[in-house]
Structure 1
C-alpha cells in the first residue's frame, strides 16, 4: 500500500512539472476510457448519497457530486448471476438464457466487452463475475471462482487458479490499480470491470473494521416486524427473515449457539492465517460471550440479530468505499479523470431489515432497485439527478454508445447517454421484471411484473396464481396490495394492458415460463 501511495505521489508531481503521456493520449474527442464498478448486493439504502442515513460512503458519493445519481435504477432479475448476464449482453434473462444461478451461462454469445475489443479497446475483468467458465471479451481476467472467499481468496487469473493472502476487497482493489498502472497498453482506450464480492453474504469485515460500529445501536426499519397481512402468499412463505432464517454461525458469527451446540463457523475461521484469526477472535468473542450470557428472547433477540447483521454488512461496505476512493484518486493524479467514465452500481438491491428480510429476489422495491452513480466530466454536469426508469439492461448499449460502437440490433436495452448529459428526457414509461429460481433457497416464488413511475403489477405463479398491485406514491413501502380494491380497477386494467404489451415487446410469454421451469426442475 505504501509503495503505491509513493508511486501516485511521484506521478502527481511529474504531471505538475512535465505533463503526462496519459494526458497527451486522451485529448478532447478521443474515445473515453470506462471503469465499471459493480459490488454484490449493495443496497442503495447503504450509500449516503441516497440519504438513507445508515452509514457514510464519501468516496462513492463523489460520483454523485461530480457526476450523476440515478434515483430509479432497477434490475430485470434480482439475483446475482442472471443480473450479470443481463449487464453483459443487454438482453433479458429469457433471451440470454441465464435465468437463475443454477443454469450455465453461454460465454460464446456476444457481449459488449467483445464489441469493445473488436473496436480497439483493451479490456480487463477483475473481481467477481459469478458466471461459470473463462470470461470472454477480456484481454485479462482475474476472477473469483463462484462466490469466492473474503479471507485469502482463490482467483482464476486468465484461467489459472491462485490463492492470494489478504482480504478480498483490498486484493481486488490492488489488482485493479496494478492493471491500470502496469499492465494496460497506454496507447489504447480501456474498459476495466472492477467488481467486488462485498457486501455479499456472509459479510465478513476486513481486519481494520472488525469493531467498527461497536459503539452504535441501529434501530430496525419501520417494517422490520412486518406480519405480511397486506400481501399474498409469496411474502408470507419466503425464508429470508433476519430473525427467523439467518444462521447462528454462518450469518451471526457465533462458534456455539445459545444452546451450546457448535455452529460450524470454526471451519470458516480455519481459512484465515493465525494472525487474521487472532484479530477476529479478539474482536468477536467478547461480543459473542456477552450475547450468550444475556439470554435474549422475543423482540430483544430479534433486534440483536438485526444489529449483528447490519453492522457486519456496513463494515464490508466500508472497505468497498475505501477502494473506490483509491481508484478515483488514481484517476485524478494521473490525469485520466476527464476522459474516463466511472460507473458504480450493484448487481441488484438488498433488504437491510425491511419487512424483516435480508437477501433479494422479490420485485419489491428494496430488492428490485439498485444504486447507480456515474461520472464523466466531458459530458455529465456535477450534481446531475436522473429520475427516469433505467435498468441494468441499458448498460451495454449505453457504454457502446459512449465508445462510438454500433449498438447491435438484438440488444433490448437503450442508451441513457442523452439522459445523463441532459440533452434529452424522452424515455420509457415502464420496465419489466422476471424471477425464476424456485423451489430454491429463500423460497421466493416465481414471478414477473411491470413497474411504471407510480404503479407496480406482479404475477406470482407456478405453485400459486396470485396478483399484486401497489400504488408506490401512496404506499412506497408496499404494505397494501390493492389488486382487488374497487378504487383501483381502472388502474389494474391499464397495468394489465401495459404488461401484455411489454411482454410482447421483449418476446416473453407463458411458454417461456414453462420452458425454463421444466429445465430448472430437470437439472
Structure 2
C-alpha cells in the first residue's frame, strides 16, 4: 500500500514539474467496429475450456487489461454502428438523439464529449471511421480530423483531412493509426483528446496483407447455441440479398458456411491489436504514458452463428456485449476487474469526469470513474436496450431489459415472439421461459423493470426511424416465398 501511495505521489510531482496537472490527463479514446466482447485473448483465457477462439492472441490489448481496468459487463444500448457511435459522442439514447439507423447524419453535435473538452482547453482530434450516414467534412467538435466517408474501404482509402479528401496508401487502420501518432507527437506539449475509430472489424472483413493467412489453419468451433433459433426467423419480408440474418442454406452449419469470414475477421482484429501497440510504444517513447488515459472499446458486438445469426442488431449477448479496457497509470489500479453493468452511454460522461469537467444535463449516462475508485454506493442493475427496424434488414423493432442475471426481449406488435432468459443458468439464451410457469415470476418482475426504464429514459419509437413493414393488422409483413433466400 505504502509503495503504491509513494508511486502515485512521485508521478504527481513529476507531472507538476512538467507543467501538467494530474487532473487534466491526455485522453486517447480508441474503438473498433463490431468487436465481440470475447475477441480478446485475455477473455479467451478466462473462459478456459469453453473458449471458442482460444487461438486468438491480443498481447497489446491484454497489456491494457493487466496495466489497467477491465469492465467485464460492458454493453451497448443499440447494437448498430451509427446509433452506437452517436451515443458515444453525446450520451443520449437513440430514440432521442436523432440516429436510429445507419443512413442518417448526426445533426445535433452541439454538446458532445469533444465540444466540452475543447471548452476545457483540450486540443481535440478525430481519426478514422465517423460513420453517421455518409457525412463529409471536418468532424464537429474536433479541432482536427483525418477521417473517411461512410464505411470507407480497407485499402487505399481516401482520407478527408479537415474535410479535404486526400489519397492514402495501405490498410486503412494502419493509416489512421499513423495519422493519430503523428498528431500526438506534434501536440505532445499540449493536453489532448485523440479519438481513434477503426474500420475493423466491419464486413466484408479484409485483414492487412500481413494477416491474410494468420488464422488459415486454426480449428473453428460451432457455438453451443447455434440451433437456438431466433423467433422471427423467416417472418419479415426483405428485398435485401445475402442478409446476414437470413437462414443458412442446407448442407452445413452457420460456422461451416462462413468459415473464411471468421478467419478474416480475426485477422483484421489482429491488425488492430498491433496498432494499439504502436500507440502504447509512442506514449512510452514520449514519456506521456503515466498521465494519459487510454480507453479501448467497440461500437457493438457481432454474431458468428449464435442463434444461427450473423451481423448484430438482435438483443442476444454476443451482439450487445463489448470490450472495455481503461488504463490510467497516474490514477487507476492495475489489473482491476469490474463486473457492474456499464454502457456505451457512459463513455462521454466518463471522459469528462477524467478531465474534471461536469457532464451536461443532456447526458443520460453515468461516469464509471467512481466505480474504478470504489467511490460509488448505488449503481445500475439493469438497462433498456432498443433497436428500430431498418429498411431491407430482416430484424424487427426490439425493446429489451437486461439485468445482472436475466433478460426480457419484446418485439412490439408481435407478442408471440417474446423471449425471457435466466442468464445465471442459461448464459447461451437457449431456453425461452416467456410462456412457461417456471418463468412467470421473472417475467412479471422484468416487465415492471422495463416500464421503469422506459419512463426514466423517455422511451418512444422515434419519427426518424424507418417505417416498419406492417400489414393492416399491425403485424410484420410475412415474406413472399419467391423473396426468400
Superimposed CA distance per residue, residues 304-337 of structure 1 (whole angstroms, 9 cap, x where no aligned partner): 4332121111110111000000101111121111
Match of 2:309 in 1: 357
Unaligned runs of 5+ in 2: 1-13, 45-50, 238-242, 470-485
Native 8 Å contact 1:127 1:196 kept in 2: yes
Match of 2:28 in 1: 35
1:93-104 to 2 correspondences below 5 Å: 93-104=94-105
- The match for 1:460 among 411, 423, 428 is 411
| TM-score calculated relative to the size of structure 2 | 0.86
Relative to structure 1, the CA distance from residue 483 to residue 242 in structure 2 (aligned partners, 3 Å threshold; closer, same or farther) is closer
Native 8 Å contact 1:460 1:467 kept in 2: yes
In structure 2, what is the Cα distance between the partners aligned to 1:381 and 1:479? 37
- The match for 2:343 among 368, 375, 391 is 391
Match of 2:164 in 1: 160
2:78 is the alignment partner of 1:77? yes
Q: Secondary structure at the match of 2:261?
A: helix
Match of 1:7 in 2: none
Match of 2:244 in 1: 240
In structure 2, what is the Cα distance between the partners aligned to 1:454 and 1:147? 36
1:48-127 to 2 correspondences below 5 Å: 48-51=41-44, 52=51, 53-127=54-128
Q: Report how far residue 234 of structure 1 moved.
A: 5.2
Native 8 Å contact 1:82 1:98 kept in 2: yes
Match of 1:148 in 2: 152
Match of 1:501 in 2: 452
Unaligned runs of 5+ in 1: 1-20, 246-296
Q: Secondary structure at the match of 1:197?
A: coil
Native 8 Å contact 1:361 1:444 kept in 2: yes
Relative to structure 1, the CA distance from residue 148 to residue 388 in structure 2 (aligned partners, 3 Å threshold; closer, same or farther) is same
2:86 is the alignment partner of 1:138? no
- The match for 1:191 among 190, 193, 204 is 193
Match of 2:434 in 1: 483
1:2-17 to 2 correspondences below 5 Å: none
2:445 is the alignment partner of 1:445? no
Native 8 Å contact 1:48 1:57 kept in 2: yes
Relative to structure 1, the CA distance from residue 333 to residue 243 in structure 2 (aligned partners, 3 Å threshold; closer, same or farther) is farther
Number of residue pairs matched? 440
Match of 1:4 in 2: none
| TM-score calculated relative to the size of structure 1 | 0.80
Superimposed CA distance per residue, residues 163-197 of structure 1 (whole angstroms, 9 cap, x where no aligned partner): 21111121111111111112x2x443111001110
Match of 1:328 in 2: 280
Native 8 Å contact 1:69 1:386 kept in 2: yes
Native 8 Å contact 1:128 1:143 kept in 2: yes
In structure 2, what is the Cα distance between the partners aligned to 1:35 and 1:424? 25
Q: Alpha carbon RMSD of aligned pairs, Å?
A: 2.3
Relative to structure 1, the CA distance from residue 242 to residue 233 in structure 2 (aligned partners, 3 Å threshold; closer, same or farther) is closer
Superimposed CA distance per residue, residues 55-101 of structure 1 (whole angstroms, 9 cap, x where no aligned partner): 01010111110001111000011000010000100111111111111
Match of 2:423 in 1: 472
- Larger helix fraction of residues: 1
Moved more, 44-53 or 412-421: 44-53
Native 8 Å contact 1:459 1:465 kept in 2: no
Q: Report how far residue 22 of structure 1 moved.
A: 8.5
Relative to structure 1, the CA distance from residue 236 to residue 477 in structure 2 (aligned partners, 3 Å threshold; closer, same or farther) is farther
Match of 1:178 in 2: 182
- The match for 1:298 among 230, 244, 251 is 251
- The match for 1:201 among 200, 203, 209 is 203
Q: Secondary structure at the match of 2:107?
A: coil
In structure 2, what is the Cα distance between the partners aligned to 1:483 and 1:399? 39
Q: Report how far residue 223 of structure 1 moved.
A: 2.7
Superimposed CA distance per residue, residues 7-26 of structure 1 (whole angstroms, 9 cap, x where no aligned partner): xxxxxxxxxxxxxx999536
1:229-268 to 2 correspondences below 5 Å: 231-233=230-232, 239-240=243-244, 244=248
In structure 1, what is the Cα distance between the partners aligned to 2:282 and 2:39? 24
Match of 1:223 in 2: 225
Native 8 Å contact 2:234 2:246 kept in 1: no
Q: Report how far residue 27 of structure 1 moved.
A: 4.3
2:291 is the alignment partner of 1:339? yes
Native 8 Å contact 1:107 1:136 kept in 2: no
Q: Report how far residue 237 of structure 1 moved.
A: 6.0
